[in-house]
Structure 1
Amino acid sequence: MTIPDRDWPIPRSAYVHVPFCRHRCGYCNFSVIAGREDLIDRFLDAIDRELAPLDRPVVDTLYLGGGTPTHLPNDRLARLLEILQRRFRFDDAVEWTSEANPEDVDTEKLRVLSEYGVNRISLGVQSFQTAKLKRFERNHSATQATRAVEQAAEVIGNVSIDLIFAAPGETLRDWQADLRTVLDLPVQHLSAYALTFEKGTPFWNARMHGQIKSVSETTEIKMYESTRHLTAESGMAQYEISNFALPGFHSRHNMAYWLGRGWFAAGPGAARFSEGRREVNHRSTTTYLNRMERGESPVAETETLTQRQSARERAAFGVRMIDGIDLTEIGRDTGVNLWSECAAEIEQAITVGWLERSEDRIRLTPSGLLFADAVAAELLP
């Protein structure tokens, strides 16, 4: 049984995927394309065409991801932003985020973003350590990253940084140095992720052939605990497994994902969730462009969720938030009683000390934060 349309609010968030990059980093498994700037104009035409049927919905959050949106030349970036202004209507308090790489950021580019309404920037710094940046195949230096943060803070104001820890050969002291550097900069938000080895990436293949080695689980845990400790000392509150923010600066766009709200999406590899249906566009940029130019759907995968699937997915993603998730509220929205549906899984997680219950909410315990993926997997349908 699928969920009736009336049970699904119109999405208030949108994601646009910009696939262009200078090059593909060894750990990256996203839908990106390097060295094909000749496709940019075709891509912009395709985005405009894909969004046209939406009839200008109102959005509270808009996120430009990639790839690297700021890799676009300024005139093409302005055209993309103009397209989005035409295809969406913005809430007065809209959160409009653009991802950026430090080597692309300068005052002129930032002013283009700001003039069209972008009011939050997410910088893919990953590290301020020279050796680690080289290992990650990043093109920027620590100096460039610092300058990009300072320029973004001056022009945009709301700055988020992505960092990766548990890199091959990284020590706890190295990671703490990265954290202290960030926390001394004008940054309102930090996303800190442990390195994952995605199948098919150069990093995955190198590890399989013994050319690089993961850090120990003990070291990774110490790095994570250090992240929680140092961010708290600096006044950043942890609000999700990997996300920390000063008061009032959490990512509203990501909250829409974790709370199971719908969102629009466009671009190669983009995934949308609307009216109980999940759709994923073709990951290949050229295939996406060809389909759009032939007037065909860019969608490669489609799934219509049942009430049970929707409820359990909301619980699985929502439990990653530090405040946890209200299962009774999910039940009101979907008609599925998760206290009964997931009784065994919840009781087991509480017994081993990974979950705790407070009235209608479940939340991860401090030790449960280290096993969040396992808890989420048990809650999934």
Structure 2
Amino acid sequence: MSGIYIHIPFCKQACHYCDFHFSTSTKKKAQLVEMLCKELEIRKDELGEDSIETIYFGGGTPSLLTSEELDLIFKTIFRYYEVSENAEITLEANPDDLSEAVIKMLDASPVNRLSIGVQSFFEADLKLMNRAHNAEEALQSLKLAKQYFDNISIDLIYGIPGLTNEQWKENLKIALDLDIPHISSYALTVEPKTALEKFIEKGKVKPVADEQYREQFDILVSSLTSKGFEHYEFSNYGKPGYHSQNNMAYWLGKPYLGIGPSAHSYDGNFRKWNISNNSLYIHSIEAGNLPQQSEQLSNTDSYNEFVMTRLRTKFGVSATDLGNKFGDKFKLHFLKESKKFIEDGLMEIRQETFHITTKGKFLSDGIAADLFYIE
């Protein structure tokens, strides 16, 4: 199986924490959509004869696409690619875009899963992050979406400056009361060169203490798992039958095609990434050139990625798989370096597979980094 990721690099306004590639000007949107379709055509043979199991519209804000633009992209995909009958087709949406007319339009399209960027149900949080929607729009968009879509995911952010543990619990309660079947939840990260970083540097926003991140993560895990959600990846929680197939494919190392400015692709051996500039992307594709760079992954790179992604998931790292995929050198390195984490109760072995324990979950990325093989 393979997947297609389509990057829609437009937003109404810039969130204060975001460092993704986007533009707040939509003047070139129609032209860029045409170039997305042309890139899909140019690269139609890259995935071989693999069927497409997942299609994901990310961004940016894909819910800014018109029905005509979305239809053009789908017609191109179905013309040049073999799409599975049961493919998961996700579109990221902002609450302020999801009027009933837009939701009906999406329901009539091949989209069968919505990922809605709620982030918080509290007005103060949304203003601090400079989100385009308000708390009422967040609630109403979900109530409307549930009338047309069964498979809905929402994003929620913890570790927001000023967000108390009690407010965080209330955010989760609202989502649970709405019976949302999938929740992706991330700690608010202060990325370089963002407005949030500048606010903290100038003392306008107080940074969040590490203990609060940990406390709110623990609240998140206990609140959702007690209500039947499986914590199947560090930042993702789903009820049975509602796990993100798109994200699972990334973590399991399956090939995918990244279309659009700044989009990344992976075929098992190479990573490719498109230029993060809308105008240069348009001009290159118009001329029939792919504006991308690539790198071939070494065996060490592949091992490190395998450890990083698998330890974040419910699958864990199989010692047998390590030996079969990468050889005894890497397997023995992993077995040796993991001993200290097992002794500290941060990792455990179940049926020859290494997993991060509940105690170690919040530290999973750091644990994985310590298990990397450094040439």
TM superposition score normalised by structure 1: 0.92
Shift of 1:275: 4.2
Q: Please tell me whether residue 91 in structure 1 is matched to residue 80 in structure 2.
A: no
Q: Is the 8 A contact 2:9 2:21 kept in 1?
A: yes
For each residue in 1:111-156, what CA deviation from the matched residue of structure 2 results, as whole angstroms up to 9, or x when unmatched? 3323231111000000000111111111212221112112222212
Q: Distance in 2 between matches of 1:153 and 1:252?
A: 20
Q: Distance in 2 between matches of 1:210 and 1:344?
A: 45
Shift of 1:344: 3.1
The residue that corresponds to 1:16 in the other structure is 6
Q: Distance in 1 between matches of 2:13 and 2:163?
A: 23
From 320, 337, 340, give the equivalent of 1:328: 320
For 1:60, what is the secondary structure of its paired residue? strand
Q: Please tell me whether residue 77 in structure 1 is matched to residue 70 in structure 2.
A: yes
Q: Please tell me whether residue 357 in structure 1 is matched to residue 349 in structure 2.
A: yes
Shift in CA distance, 320/294, structure 1 to aligned 2, threshold 3 Å: same
Alignment of 1:1-381 (within 5 A): 12-35=2-25, 37-52=26-41, 53-55=43-45, 57-299=50-292, 301-335=293-327, 338-381=330-373
Shift in CA distance, 43/222, structure 1 to aligned 2, threshold 3 Å: same
For each residue in 1:208-242, what CA deviation from the matched residue of structure 2 results, as whole angstroms up to 9, or x when unmatched? 22221222222221111111111122221211111
AA aligned to 2:21 is S
For 2:7, what is the secondary structure of its paired residue? strand
Q: Distance in 2 between matches of 1:250 and 1:331?
A: 29
* Moved beyond 3 Å, runs of 4+: 333-338
AA aligned to 2:70 is L
The residue that corresponds to 1:6 in the other structure is none
Shift in CA distance, 51/63, structure 1 to aligned 2, threshold 3 Å: same
For each residue in 1:297-353, what CA deviation from the matched residue of structure 2 results, as whole angstroms up to 9, or x when unmatched? 210x31101223212211111100134232422433444654213233212222332
For 2:169, what is the secondary structure of its paired residue? helix
Q: Distance in 1 between matches of 2:5 and 2:328?
A: 28
**Residue ranges of structure 1 left out of the alignment (5+ in a row):** 1-10
Deviates more, 1:93-102 or 1:38-47: 38-47
For each residue in 1:254-291, what CA deviation from the matched residue of structure 2 results, as whole angstroms up to 9, or x when unmatched? 01111122211111110110140001111122221122
For 1:41, what is the secondary structure of its paired residue? helix
CA RMSD of aligned residues (A): 1.7
Q: Distance in 2 between matches of 1:115 and 1:89?
A: 21
Q: Is the 8 A contact 1:163 1:193 kept in 2?
A: yes
Deviates more, 1:339-348 or 1:317-326: 339-348
Shift in CA distance, 80/39, structure 1 to aligned 2, threshold 3 Å: same
Q: Is the 8 A contact 1:150 1:186 kept in 2?
A: no
For 2:39, what is the secondary structure of its paired residue? helix
For 2:178, what is the secondary structure of its paired residue? coil
AA aligned to 2:24 is A
For 2:27, what is the secondary structure of its paired residue? helix
**Residue ranges of structure 2 left out of the alignment (5+ in a row):** none
Identity %: 31
TM superposition score normalised by structure 2: 0.93
Q: Distance in 2 between matches of 1:336 and 1:289?
A: 46
Q: Is the 8 A contact 1:166 1:215 kept in 2?
A: yes
